[in-house]
Amino acid sequence: MPKLFARRSRHVWLSVRQWKRRLLFWSGAVCVGAAAVLFAKGSEQANLLFHRVVAISPYLPLLIAPAGLALVAYVTRRFFPGSQGSGIPQTIAALSMPDRGARASVLSLRIAFGKIMLTLVALLSGASVGREGPTVQIGAAIMQALGGYARFTRVDLEKGLILAGGAAGVAAAFNTPLAGVVFAIEEMSRSFEEKTNGTVLTAVIVAGMASLAMMGNYTYFGHTSATLDFGQGWLAVLLCGVAGGLAGGLFSRILTAFASGVPGRAGQAIRQRPVAFAALCGFVLALIGLLSGGTTYGTGYQEARALLETGHALPDSYGVLKMLATIVSYLSGIPGGIFAPSLAVGAGFGANLADLMPYAPSGAVIVLGMVAYFAGVVQAPITAFVIVMEMTDNHGLLLPLMAASIIASMTSRLVCRKPLYKALAENFLKRPAATPTCRP
């Protein structure tokens, strides 16, 4: 019996068909990493270009933002339906879709291309969106296309390739391999046996290596060595957890309510004139930008990093205004994620809370604000503290980050009972397949 098992094992390893599948799979993971890096570089340039325009005149966004968001909304609905919003709900929904044709409506190379280009145009228009959520859909789309070429089984495709592509997208986008695995386990699926397998791990490793080769070993938000002493400083954990959870839950409640449909004449007007509504959202976005001194445009990456590394002062209203800008951007129906903007909002709220707690290091409170708000939004506490810990390269705050994340996730459920991405995925599955929409 042992000899028979050994012969079968050698046969599997020597099988040309198996090696063909492995090579195609590894190539796909490399493509995910490369796409994430190119997307990151494009997003950075789009942000820089828009801020150069704002430097010419702070009033130019009053024209650029409405026109840009209207254009993106029109192209999304006309040519790339299924690419709107973050991309994570579509990827989660794809795991429950019955056939490959349905999955291809949201996970295809055409959708991936549209997601990248339209998100970049949205950033050029000043939208408060991120690239990390879209990278999840892009990674899953690449792996979906791979499954068609390699003729993987349905189980492999649904529970392996899509999960692996999404996890690889997170790992490559943030340069956080552990967070990619945790994200697949906690957020994209709900049972461990479907996720903790070599397919996901291999994709994360290969995509991470591709990202590392192209961009080097960097930390997303730089490095912070802030720590928190046990005792009075831990009051910051409780306060950040509760405040971040409430704010994040409110954000999620607004998005899920809008996704379910606005009642009355207002909702009818939005459904009948989605492009005009996107233009209106762009105008409101520009007004918020004026109030914030131009700090609420774009991903929020530079603002959050400046707070963490240099303590660069932002307006006291930055957290609230950035949250409003992100809501307006997302509700307009354009492609774009909420990961980076949510972390920036959390950093802004953390800076506000640090002013109330002079006994705690401000850097530590800002990081706690980031993890608490993000956990409140996604209600995935493990993903939240792992991703923030890896992005800030701060293992000294591990226990405070864990505690704040769990408190925030529990508090968020008082405001929004269902996790954001799960609610949006369920709403996405309820829509008629033939009816494109620009709601998030």
Do 150 and 279 lie in one domain? The reply is: no
* Rounded Cα gap, residues 148 and 282, in angstroms: 39
Amino acid (one-letter) located at 324:
L
Q: Are 420 and 253 in contact (CB under 8 A)?
A: no
Domain contains 149: yes
DSSP class of residue 359?
A: T
Domain boundary among 190, 215, 240: 215
Q: Is residue 330 situated within a structural domain?
A: yes
Q: Do residue 182 and residue 296 come from a single domain?
A: no
CA 385 to CA 406: how far, in whole Å? 9
Flag whether 70 is in a domain: yes
Same domain, 208 and 336: no
Do 88 and 178 fall within a single domain? yes
Cβ–Cβ < 8 Å for 325, 130: no
User: Cα separations (Å) of 182 from 158, 277, 402?
Assistant: 18, 37, 14
124 and 240, same structural domain? Answer: no
Domain of 244, in residue numbers: 232-430
Based on the domain organization, do 191 and 242 belong to the same domain?
Answer: no
Last residue of a domain, one of 173, 190, 215: 215
Q: Which two tokens stand for residue 141?
A: 């789309």
What CA–CA distance (Å, rounded) separates 55 from 345?
23
In this prediction, residue 434 carries a pLDDT of: 37
Is 290 within the bounds of a domain?
yes
Asked if residue 220 belongs to a domain, the reply is no
d(CA 99, CA 294): 45
- Same-domain status, 108 and 238: no
Query: What is the chain's pLDDT, residue by residue, as a tens digit (440 residues)?
Result: 455 445 544 554 456 666 666 677 777 778 888 888 889 889 999 999 999 999 999 999 999 999 999 999 999 999 998 888 888 898 888 888 777 777 778 888 999 999 999 999 999 999 999 988 899 899 889 888 877 666 666 655 556 777 777 777 777 776 666 667 677 777 776 544 444 455 565 666 666 566 656 655 555 555 565 666 666 677 889 999 999 999 999 999 999 998 877 777 777 888 889 999 999 999 999 999 999 999 999 998 888 888 877 766 788 899 999 999 999 999 999 999 998 899 999 999 999 998 888 888 888 889 899 999 999 999 988 888 888 877 776 667 778 888 999 999 999 999 998 899 888 988 888 776 534 443 34
Alpha-carbon span 372 to 243, nearest angstrom: 8
- Asked if residue 223 is part of any domain, the answer here is no
Same domain, 249 and 105: no
From the list 107, 117, 210, the residue with the least C-alpha distance to 168 is 210
How far apart (Å, rounded) are the C-alpha atoms in residues 129 and 340? 7
Q: What is the maximal distance between C-alpha atoms in the chain?
A: 78
Number of domain units in the chain: 2
Q: What is the pLDDT of residue 336?
A: 92
Flag whether the pTM goes above 0.95. Answer: no
Please tell me the total number of residues recorded for the chain in this structure: 440
The total of other beta-carbon atoms located within 10 Å of residue 146's CB is 22
Q: Are residues 370 and 419 in the same domain?
A: yes
Are 99 and 194 in the same domain? yes
Nearest to 368 by CA among 393, 390, 338, 343: 343
In a domain? residue 225: no
276, 289, 354: which is closest to 324 by C-alpha? 289
- pLDDT digit string, tens, across residues 26-78: 777 788 888 888 898 899 999 999 999 999 999 999 999 999 999 999 999 99
Cα 223 from Cα 394, distance rounded (Å): 7
The answer to whether residue 347 sits within a structural domain is: yes
Q: The domain that contains 383 carries what CATH number?
A: 1.10.3080.10
- Whether 161 contacts 199, CB under 8 Å: yes
Domain boundary among 182, 215, 248: 215
| Claim to verify: residue 198 and residue 282 sit in the same structural domain | no
* Dihedral of the alpha carbons of 419, 425, 430, 431, in degrees to the nearest 10: 130
H or E stretch covering 415: helix 398-415
Q: Is the same domain home to 97 and 144?
A: yes
